[in-house]
Structure 1
């Protein structure tokens, strides 16, 4: 064992089920955050849901954690081209399918009397979204071809920068608190910059320089992973830790705590769930149903805004309802069921086969056994 590894490291098991199962609830929170903007409850009555949008930040931390688990176990970083091929295959099939569906909807909307705001769906934004660079630059408007895809743009940036993350991680993996401190300092610095330039805190960064939002959070996940290798709690302690950190995170969301405090609290939440798998402690997050919906959460996250847009435009075009009408419980329930069904179908019939097809062609079969093993486990818990 190398000196850098440190004598206290106790590896996590290969599969971290709780981090896969929880993805569904994080994605569902983002979905309900967007839905609650249009339902009959006043905004101030949905405290928890108003902060559920920060599930994206939890996803970013989770990405750093899981990719460290899969790719940074040894003394060297993964083969860069095979790494990018695996990540591209992970995110692009569902993204491309939904983006092309959006293009089709925009083209046929006038045929059904649906008026679109001039310039709202434009060619430059389509190209930027297609290439996943829409969140790389300052901009004054949102890239509306599929709003949630901005976070894929940020993730793709982190994937491209992974060699830099890997070099820092492997150098400091025996000092995880240093990695976490660096992540915190980077977050504070970027937050100060973003507030000075745009007047908003960093967890509000989306299409406009959203890459700044993931940069420290991805590093935070890396540091948490190496910290977690030092601990092996008993099943009882692991379960108590998971419930405690979950309650703390939800409580901070409900009382409307500062976004930056909630992001910081998301770290212990992720670590506690990972330690459940290490203890091991069995919870409902390891149930096959929870694992399936967790795996389908990526499609759920991507498809909910297009479905919401089509639903409300159809209501306006065919029922004559005003653009600002509020949805009732029955309509919301139907919309949610439709969205969940569409997400499951995209996951099974587009995302999974598309991922396999791309990996077979982009990742050569001559990859060594270590790389093959990484491919098997590279999607667990990692949301994008």
Structure 2
């Protein structure tokens, strides 16, 4: 069987709602050192649980692999189709990111940098090169490192699909993931100034490709995969992997992803559980699917990319001191979450979507795709 052109895009409301949960998980992960948590045994348990909610990023990556495969795997990538594909992806990611990055640079100013170094850092960040170098990847908008990984998969996706059609996913994709991982480790070992081997596995496409490929494999699978129990099985499996991560955390005394066993769990085992859940939400009728398909969940899911980029950085830095002067610690935390959510909804409706549609109409000559198939990151 050969790929066909112009395959219709599918829309999965439950997966849009899941994006909101993934974004909330990442937000909670970054609150693990909140002043709300003291030194009691219960606080320690809560902090330990929050420390593993970085899995929201992995969910975003696996979801991206699933949705991009559903949309593009059956299309032929001619030169024109390739250009349109790349423009669609750039139009989805870059406008909001460039806006927030530019605002962050303008407000923070050069600081201790010379003007040339300051402008150089802007170029490194706006081109997303930042995510390839350990000393840069958490600068300015820290969470945007994941966009570098996401863009890496977008560029690899046509090759991934061609290998799938030519050699079958089960044969070709594990070899691709292993080969790219070895290439990344060898490159960073030869150029240690770029980063450590653990960094390669934690935060670059060389280590994170398996998450996208597992999502793609579940998108490729027959509809009856899971025999009608994929949603429940995916939830149970994700909870089991989270339990293993908590065990790994106790042995290493650090967030599991900061250890090699934790990377293995996060990058290889968790995506299988996530992929099963995604397949179930896309093919089964369940209570969870209905809850994630409600109008509020859809609105929050569509705005999840804006929330993801807003939840750390300039806006919280402005709001937190102001809220802290007027509210208790708990009240300030709740108000901050609410204000970030409202800001994300406004940014999505009044900038992200209009900019995306304008860019496609002006430069791509096409209509935007259904929102749940466009991007999912970390848009996660």
TM over 0.5: yes
User: What is the CA distance between 1:54 and its match in structure 2?
Assistant: 3.2
**Of 260, 277, 291, which residue of structure 1 is paired with 2:298?**
291
2:28 aligns with: 32
1:16 aligns with: 12
Aligned length: 346
2:259 aligns with: none
Within the alignment, does 1:211 sit opposite 2:205 as a pair?
yes
Within the alignment, does 1:69 sit opposite 2:70 as a pair?
yes
CA 1:202–1:191 in 2, change beyond 3 Å: closer, same or farther? farther
Deviations 1:203-231 (CA, angstroms, capped at 9, x unpaired):
7644xxx23234333233222322x3263
8 Å Cα contact 2:163/2:169 also seen in 1: no
8 Å Cα contact 2:68/2:374 also seen in 1: no
Structure 1 segment 47-86 matched on structure 2, within 5 A: 47-74=48-75, 79-86=81-88
User: What is the CA distance between 1:184 and its match in structure 2?
Assistant: 5.5
Q: Which stretch has the larger CA shift, 374-383 or 290-299? A: 374-383
2:267 aligns with: 263
Q: Which stretch has the larger CA shift, 291-300 or 327-336? A: 327-336
User: What is the CA distance between 1:297 and its match in structure 2?
Assistant: 0.8
8 Å Cα contact 2:36/2:329 also seen in 1: yes
Q: Which stretch has the larger CA shift, 337-346 or 210-219? A: 210-219
- In 2, distance between residues paired with 1:13 and 1:40? 44
User: What is the CA distance between 1:105 and its match in structure 2?
Assistant: 1.9
Structure 1 segment 174-253 matched on structure 2, within 5 A: 175-179=168-172, 181-182=174-175, 185-186=178-179, 189=182, 198-199=195-196, 201=198, 205-206=202-203, 210-226=204-220, 228-229=221-222, 231-233=224-226, 235=228, 237-253=229-245
User: What is the CA distance between 1:186 and its match in structure 2?
Assistant: 4.4
- In 1, distance between residues paired with 2:140 and 2:330? 28
- In 2, distance between residues paired with 1:381 and 1:253? 27
Q: Structure 2: which 5+ runs fail to align?
A: 250-255, 257-261
Pairwise CA RMSD:
3.4
CA 1:262–1:131 in 2, change beyond 3 Å: closer, same or farther? closer
8 Å Cα contact 1:39/1:328 also seen in 2: yes
Q: 3-state SS of the aligned residue for 1:14? A: coil
**Of 141, 152, 157, which residue of structure 2 is paired with 1:162?**
157
Give the TM-score normalised by the residue count of structure 2. Answer: 0.78
Q: 3-state SS of the aligned residue for 1:201? A: helix
1:275 aligns with: 280
Within the alignment, does 1:148 sit opposite 2:152 as a pair?
no
- In 2, distance between residues paired with 1:277 and 1:312? 38
- In 2, distance between residues paired with 1:260 and 1:12? 35
Deviations 1:299-324 (CA, angstroms, capped at 9, x unpaired):
111011122323356689x89xxxxx
CA 1:141–1:101 in 2, change beyond 3 Å: closer, same or farther? closer
2:253 aligns with: none
- In 2, distance between residues paired with 1:273 and 1:261? 18
CA 1:195–1:328 in 2, change beyond 3 Å: closer, same or farther? farther
Q: 3-state SS of the aligned residue for 2:129? A: coil
- In 2, distance between residues paired with 1:238 and 1:357? 38
CA 1:313–1:105 in 2, change beyond 3 Å: closer, same or farther? farther
Q: Structure 1: which 5+ runs fail to align?
A: 6-10, 108-115, 320-326, 366-371
Give the TM-score normalised by the residue count of structure 1. Answer: 0.77
- In 2, distance between residues paired with 1:39 and 1:182? 45
8 Å Cα contact 2:207/2:267 also seen in 1: no
Q: Which stretch has the larger CA shift, 92-101 or 152-161? A: 152-161
CA 1:247–1:214 in 2, change beyond 3 Å: closer, same or farther? closer
